[in-house]
Amino acid sequence: MSEPDRLDQIDRRLLALLREDGRASIVDLARQVNLSKTPCTERVRRLERLGFIRGYRADLDAGKLGFGYKVFVQVTLEKTTTDVLTRFNAAVRAVPEIRACHMVAGGFDYLLMVRVRDMTHYRDVLGDAIGALPGVSQTHTYPVMETVRDERDLAGEVILAPSRSE
């Protein structure tokens, strides 16, 4: 049985509630899922132990912190040998403005999500950091005008929805 199949409706509800408010007390969680405090605590600890809950973080406002511009960058490498991929991956981790990096299949090799103060800052990051990453042959930049939906909005939806067999 796969991991998601081991989640029942209460587990999924707890995950949705914690995704919405990671600081929710056990008492509040227990009340919302109709459990007493001890079984609720045991369930949350089990979800943590099994890795469904990887941690608790503050949801920071990038704009208020001076990094309100989000840019997606398609990166094409000169070649995709293991050595080039390994060096590229390591170098990406050293660029603080690159907040996400995904290796993808298709017409390019990586999709980066970059956070910067403004377009002047992005120009500097593109020239000094992204363009200097090992193996980069081409980039395409896509500044974000508006975020319509973000992964953080998925609490209680597709990922946490009960399976059809429940």
CA distance 136 to 114: 16
113 domain residue, yes or no: yes
Q: Over the chain (166 residues), what is each successive 10-residue block's mean pLDDT?
A: 70 91 95 97 96 90 93 97 97 97 97 97 97 97 92 56 53
* Residue 136 β-bridge partners: 77
Clarify whether residues 91 and 49 are in a common domain: no
How many folded domains does the chain comprise?
2
126 and 90 in a common domain = yes
Domain enclosing residue 82, as ranges:
69-143
Examine residue 166 and state whether it is found in any structural domain, yes or no. no
Query: What would the two tokens of residue 50 be?
Result: 């099994």
Reported pTM: 0.80
- Biggest CA–CA distance in the chain, Å, is 58
* 54, 105: one domain: no
Does 122 reside within a domain? yes
User: Per the domain annotation, does 63 fall within a domain?
Assistant: no
Q: Does 161 reside within a domain?
A: no
Distance CA 45, CA 53 (A): 9
Please check whether residue 12 lies inside any domain of the structure: yes
3-state secondary structure the chain: CCHHHHCCHHHHHHHHHHHHCCCCCHHHHHHHCCCCHHHHHHHHHHHHHCCCCCCCCCCCCCCCCCCCEEEEEEEEECCCCHHHHHHHHHHHHCCCCEEEEEECCCCCCEEEEEEECCHHHHHHHHHHHHCCCCCEEEEEEEECCCCCCCHHHHCCCCCCCCCCCC
Q: Is residue 107 part of a domain?
A: yes
Residue 54 phi, psi (nearest 5): -90, -15
Residue 121's pLDDT is what?
97
Say how far residue 85 (Cα) sits from the centre of its chain. Answer: 21
CATH number at residue 113: 3.30.70.920
Residues 75 and 108 in one domain: yes
